[in-house]
Structure 1
Amino acid sequence: SLFGDAFELPDCKMGLVLVILVTSAPWNAHQRSVIRDTWASPWGTTKYPWQVAFLIGRASDGRVPQEVLEEKESFEDIVLGNYVDTYRNLTLKVMHGLKWAAEHCRPQYILKTDDDCFVNTDRLPQFLVEHNTIRSGLYVGSLFAPNQRHVIREPLSKWYVSEEDFRPDFYPPYASGVGYILSLDTAQAMLQVAELVRPIPVEDAYVGILAEAAGIVVKSSGRFAKHNMNWRVCNYRYLMVIHHLDAGELRAANE
């Protein structure tokens, strides 16, 4: 089974406020190392404990590169899945990560993001504990406008979804995969309905479909930026997640 854990999973700290799931790939070791040196470096040293895990699958030949196994051993922050690491398998990757976080870690909240994003770990755990008023049923991020939710039927597109897999022409409201936050009960409800809802290869849209099936309403927040519009560093204090930063920008954002 895809979710049969073929690999040992990382341990979780007790009493976590937040688990940050970062989608990565076997060959993105440099991005992971920059993240460990920057926004993931104070790993839960704040009074609100949090933890980062990188989600990675197998290489295209079905094997796991030796250096990934060594990195996993050294840092104990890699959730290795039993799927080939391709864009079309991103949904499997994220569902595997959510299952690990919800069943093993049981944090109050889960943030899903990508390895080219900066997460404001200085502020986010504290914000969730002290300022967020929605403790349950939470699913929040940067929303796509209704006219951006067309289902792509072009077979050559990486976002192609057949009518057999998803019949409607528009996806329900959903948050960009750059960064969205789920409360634990939301993640649990999504995992439950996922057993009945056929997966599609558009991960963030699939999460929106699961939310709708579970009766959860997605909320919009300006604290998640879908694109790096050359945010000045002072703006980083307000934003919780920013997309498309290269290694140098990640370091600048962290200073």
Structure 2
Amino acid sequence: MRWWCWKRLLCASLLLLLLLWCLLLLARDVQKKWPVAGRFRLAPRGQLLAWPGLGAVQGVDFASLFAGSHASPRCDWGQVLLILVTSAPGNVEARHVIRRTWAAQEGQPPNRWQTVFLVGQAAEAEVARGVQREQQEFGDILVGNYKDTYRNLTLKVMHGLKWASKKCRPRYILKTDDDCFVNTDRLPAFLAEVNTVRTGLYVGSLFSQEKRQVIREPSSKWYVSRQDYHPDEYPPYASGIGYVLSLDVAEKILEAARRVRPIPVEDAYVGILAEEAGVRAKASARFAKHNVRWRVCNYRYLMVIHHLSPREQEAAWRRCRRGRAPAVAVRAASRPPAPGCRR
């Protein structure tokens, strides 16, 4: 009798294992035939994202980015332009040079604008204290509650955009880096007086299709796994050296960020969010990815130039000021440079 019971139990166990195996094969077959809906792979509710430094679930966890006791920068409501500059905690010299060159304002500009630096949590206590003293002195640093690493640049930009859209509400937001030159002698006036696109604006230097391939090599700093982003190609997006968003686009991007899984490539993620929000990226030659020997006349046209050292920032600012023209400055900014005026 006892042997008969054991025999029945063994048979039932084998049948159960066979049933589970069939269900597993069926699930795998369905997954192959019916891929995940939409372009984006979202993390299951409650699951942490795979890349380091991010504690959000599913989309961006904005509440966690604002946790902390750091004082926020000052800002005026409704300016023409707010410039958000991503900066590492230790890049003190770069911030000081920007403050005394293109972020400096002479008197009361007719088209109000402002520059704010975006910084995360420093690993070294002394560097963190230095950032705090710098913020107390200048009042232009927004410190977020995330580790300041390259792969957390996405969180840095999302934090800055959220703060800007909620606290300052400028007409336009320019995101750039602290190794970029911004032509503040032209850009605020151009946006306010020449530009006719008041809403739906997402513009910068777009990457070509071959440069939008997702990098799957784990040793690369731009590595993105299939778990974080499944497609092999990013949608059209503007380089992180500098792109301008109208306020309505910034708000649409932030709303999309709540439901779209982040990736550790900031500018590509903004392009993903823009596509999700139905916003089309626009290309402009006014954003230069490369720093070459631009002549004075180029500064009547270019708005953002990438890869400048602190010394080159000062030289660019001198050329920018020499390029001023009395009466025709804004009109000249609306035209491309002459063929012989590139370098």
Instruction: Write the letter of the residue equivalent to 1:4.
Output: F
Q: Can you give the 5+ residue segments of structure 2 that lack an aligned partner in the other structure?
A: 1-62, 319-343
Q: Can you give the 5+ residue segments of structure 1 that lack an aligned partner in the other structure?
A: none
Q: Is the aligned partner of 1:224 residue 2:287?
A: yes
Between the two proteins, the alignment pairs up a number of residues equal to 255
- Alpha-carbon contact 1:18-1:108 (below 8 Å) kept: yes
Q: Greater share of helix residues, 1 or 2? A: 2
Q: CA distance change for structure 1 residues 62 and 194 in 2, over 3 Å: closer, same or farther?
A: farther
Distance in 2, Cα, partners of 1:62 & 1:144: 38
Q: Is the aligned partner of 1:50 residue 2:113?
A: yes
For 1:135, the equivalent position in structure 2 comes to 198
Q: Greater share of strand residues, 1 or 2? A: 1
Instruction: Write the letter of the residue equivalent to 2:148.
Output: D
- Alpha-carbon contact 2:175-2:240 (below 8 Å) kept: yes
Distance in 2, Cα, partners of 1:88 & 1:15: 32
Select which of 69, 76, 79 maps to 1:13.
Answer: 76
For 2:164, the equivalent position in structure 1 comes to 101
List per-residue Cα deviations over 1:80-99 (Å, max 9, x = no partner). Answer: 01011100000000000000
Structure 1 segments of 4+ aligned residues over 6 angstroms from their partners: none
Q: Is the aligned partner of 1:176 residue 2:239?
A: yes
For 2:173, the equivalent position in structure 1 comes to 110
Which has the greater radius of gyration?
2
Instruction: Write the letter of the residue equivalent to 2:128.
Output: P
Distance in 2, Cα, partners of 1:125 & 1:46: 9
Determine what percentage of the aligned residue pairs are the same residue: 64
Instruction: Write the letter of the residue equivalent to 2:162.
Output: K
Instruction: Please list, as runs of the form range in 1=range in 2, the aligned pairs for 1:20-59 lying within 5 A after superposition.
Output: 20-42=83-105, 45-59=108-122
Shift of 1:44: 7.8
For 1:80, the equivalent position in structure 2 comes to 143
Q: Is the aligned partner of 1:213 residue 2:276?
A: yes
Bigger mean CA deviation after superposition, 188-197 or 2-11: 2-11
Distance in 1, Cα, partners of 2:171 & 2:73: 18
For 1:2, the equivalent position in structure 2 comes to 64
Q: Is the aligned partner of 1:253 residue 2:309?
A: no
TM-score, scaled to structure 2: 0.72
Shift of 1:144: 0.2
Q: Is the aligned partner of 1:201 residue 2:259?
A: no
Name the structure, 1 or 2, with higher relative contact order (CA <8 Å, separation 6+). Answer: 1
For 1:146, the equivalent position in structure 2 comes to 209
Distance in 1, Cα, partners of 2:222 & 2:96: 29
Q: CA distance change for structure 1 residues 62 and 158 in 2, over 3 Å: closer, same or farther?
A: farther
- Aligned residue for 1:178, secondary structure, equals strand
List per-residue Cα deviations over 1:110-135 (Å, max 9, x = no partner). Answer: 00000011100011000001111111
Instruction: Write the letter of the residue equivalent to 1:110.
Output: I
Q: CA distance change for structure 1 residues 143 and 67 in 2, over 3 Å: closer, same or farther?
A: same
Select which of 41, 61, 70 maps to 2:133.
Answer: 70
TM-score, scaled to structure 1: 0.97
List per-residue Cα deviations over 1:223-250 (Å, max 9, x = no partner). Answer: 0001112222321221000001111111
Distance in 1, Cα, partners of 2:231 & 2:107: 42
- Aligned residue for 1:71, secondary structure, equals helix
Select which of 103, 119, 127 maps to 2:182.
Answer: 119
- Alpha-carbon contact 1:199-1:206 (below 8 Å) kept: yes
- Aligned residue for 1:2, secondary structure, equals helix
Bigger mean CA deviation after superposition, 107-116 or 130-139: 130-139
Instruction: Write the letter of the residue equivalent to 2:194.
Output: H
Distance in 2, Cα, partners of 1:139 & 1:103: 19
